[in-house]
Structure 1
Amino acid sequence: MTTIALPVLSANGSLEQYIQTVNSIPMLTPEEEFELATRQQEQGDLEAAKRLVLSHLRVVVSIARGYSGYGLPQADLIQEGNIGLMKAVKRFEPTRGVRLFSFAVHWIKAEIHEFILRNWRLVRIATTKPQRKLFFNLRSMKQGFSALSEKEAQAIAEQLGVKPEEVREMETRMSGQDMALLADEGDDEGFAPIDWLADSHHEPTRAMERRALDTLQGEGIEHALATLDPRSRRIIEARWLADDSGATLHDLAAEFGVSAERIRQIEAKALGKMKAALSHGVVIDA
């Protein structure tokens, strides 16, 4: 629908002033609401749609306050709720006998829910409808701030149609907080969490492991290949050490005049022999 001018709610504006402004806009009587909604639906009257939206902005503020515990700016939650309100006004049918307030609640909450799921980085499992229901109901269903017991988790899981382990995982995610590994720019004092992470790259045991791996990949493989007969070595080199994608069993079968199954048998035997040579014949210099 065409954009409707709303009271300004900017990042550097006053949230309190905005709330005072929308609370000062009078609510509509049932008769006024029906008349305006009819004009909007039948004639596309933008002025009527604007009055419907403006008179219900206080509803958005009230709903958005219920989501203040997710760590997102209240102004952003209100703006998203306003989008849901405008969608509700566009779809509202006054002849069904339902007030716009009741009809709009679903659309306002839906937009706020989508915004939270897009921006709350810890939540990535809330992808199905039952999981989303769990995400947005778990806070209110918990008794107090202590961790859920097995009995409580089971009861919530049964009520919301999810698994008990999903309830416990969501509880853990929602009780955690994001932590920046790097220090803020300009902060020259103290340590950031990343400074406490150990650098194991130069640890002696790790250095010896890397040296052993280099030996296995270089001298060790060459030593193992030397234990094979010429045909077996040719098969291993063509199948596993070629620069391109390697030869197929049928390619080598044609080269040696045997079946592909025979090539597979020779290959398996050669690999076993090389594995034994790598296990016993590699020496790592101190």
Structure 2
Amino acid sequence: MTTTFALPVPSSSGSLEQYIQAVNSVPMLTPEQETELATRFQQDNDLEAARQMVLSHLRVVVSISRGYAGYGLPQADLIQEGNIGLMKAVKRFEPGRGVRLFSFAVHWIKAEIHEFILRNWRLVRIATTKPQRKLFFNLRSMKSSFSALSENEARQIAEDLGVKPEEVREMETRMSGQDIALMADDGDDEGYAPIDWLADAHHEPTRALERKAFDHLQTEGIEYALSSLDARSRRIVEARWLADDGGATLHELAAEFGVSAERIRQIEAKALGKMKTALSEGVVIDS
């Protein structure tokens, strides 16, 4: 299926601010409206319903795109790519899973922006494997200062991201490039200096979106995953991992169900695997 409905397009010219104002003026959908529109799109191929879902979430793309300003690419282009990810998310969205489009779309938006950066930023063509891509997009935030990484810090980052310490140091070198002044020269009215890219990480829009998605995972997401289990498996998981009193032992549950402790362990392992699969299908959070 090809979506052909018209959407506002961000421009690298002076109209970018007008675009941002326009998309921010579109109200977010209520859960009921979202479910109705998604159902119309899925069952009747109603492109107007899909268009309304996309329009109401364009502001999310704008917020996420701001988190990638430090890569030196035009924000209008980042927004364009993020919008492609949003449309892919709308196409795949299933309201029956109990997950809001907002949470589901974050992964698709960021994935398209990541691919765009990797295609267009010459310093990151080294990032050809999944661990290297993860290193590229996380190295800046994981550094404790602007100074060069120490051996211990490089080793810790490598361990956390599943790469080699030498890969961490090589990526740092490639990303550092030549020295650039933090502040622009007095009287320089053209372009942006690195100081313009710095932000409070705690309140940075992408982090706020990730926190909201994570909070959702810890509440509705867990309940959704539990609902995929049969009654016995759910009882075992809740008793072992979600009880307020520290959880039941394998032997206590074995006595309750009249089976061996090893059988309880097997049921528990299978249930946790099924929950993991349900979560990955129902709630996507970019790592």
TM-score range, shorter chain: 0.5 to 0.7
Q: Deviations over 1:128-187 (max 9, x none)?
A: 0000000101111111211111111000000000000000110111111599xxxxxxxx
1:36 and 2:42 are equivalent in the alignment:
no
Offset at residue 33 of structure 1 (A): 0.4
Equivalent-residue separation in structure 2 for 1:12 and 1:65 (angstroms): 17
Amino acid at match of 1:160: L
Equivalent-residue separation in structure 2 for 1:33 and 1:144 (angstroms): 43
Equivalent-residue separation in structure 1 for 2:148 and 2:15 (angstroms): 37
Q: For residue 204 of structure 1, what is the aligned residue in structure 2?
A: none
Amino acid at match of 1:47: E
Q: Deviations over 1:46-77 (max 9, x none)?
A: 00000000000000000000000001000000
Q: For residue 220 of structure 1, what is the aligned residue in structure 2?
A: none
Offset at residue 123 of structure 1 (A): 1.5
Offset at residue 16 of structure 1 (A): 1.1
1:92 and 2:93 are equivalent in the alignment:
yes
When the two structures are superposed, what TM-score results if normalisation uses the length of structure 1?
Answer: 0.61
Offset at residue 122 of structure 1 (A): 1.4
Equivalent-residue separation in structure 1 for 2:14 and 2:134 (angstroms): 33
Contact residue 135 and residue 168 of structure 2 kept, 8 A: yes
1:130 and 2:145 are equivalent in the alignment:
no
- Give ranges in structure 1 of 5+ residues lacking alignment: 180-286
When the two structures are superposed, what TM-score results if normalisation uses the length of structure 2?
Answer: 0.61
Equivalent-residue separation in structure 1 for 2:51 and 2:39 (angstroms): 13
1:75 and 2:81 are equivalent in the alignment:
no
Q: How does 1:214-229 map to 2 (within 5 A)?
A: none
Distance 1:177 1:47, change over 3 A: farther
Q: How does 1:1-286 map to 2 (within 5 A)?
A: 1-176=2-177
Higher relative contact order (CA 8 A, sep 6+): 2
Contact residue 122 and residue 178 of structure 1 kept, 8 A: no
Equivalent-residue separation in structure 2 for 1:102 and 1:93 (angstroms): 12
Contact residue 139 and residue 172 of structure 2 kept, 8 A: yes
The SS at the match of 1:28 is coil
Equivalent-residue separation in structure 1 for 2:140 and 2:114 (angstroms): 14
The structure that has the greater radius of gyration is: 1
Equivalent-residue separation in structure 2 for 1:13 and 1:49 (angstroms): 29
Contact residue 119 and residue 125 of structure 2 kept, 8 A: no
Offset at residue 21 of structure 1 (A): 0.5
The SS at the match of 1:167 is helix
Distance 1:12 1:145, change over 3 A: same
Amino acid at match of 1:16: E
Equivalent-residue separation in structure 1 for 2:157 and 2:5 (angstroms): 41
* Aligned positions, number: 179
Amino acid at match of 1:111: E
Question: Deviation above 3 Å: which 4+ runs of structure 1?
Answer: none
Q: Deviations over 1:183-238 (max 9, x none)?
A: xxxxxxxxxxxxxxxxxxxxxxxxxxxxxxxxxxxxxxxxxxxxxxxxxxxxxxxx
Distance 1:177 1:61, change over 3 A: farther
The SS at the match of 2:127 is coil
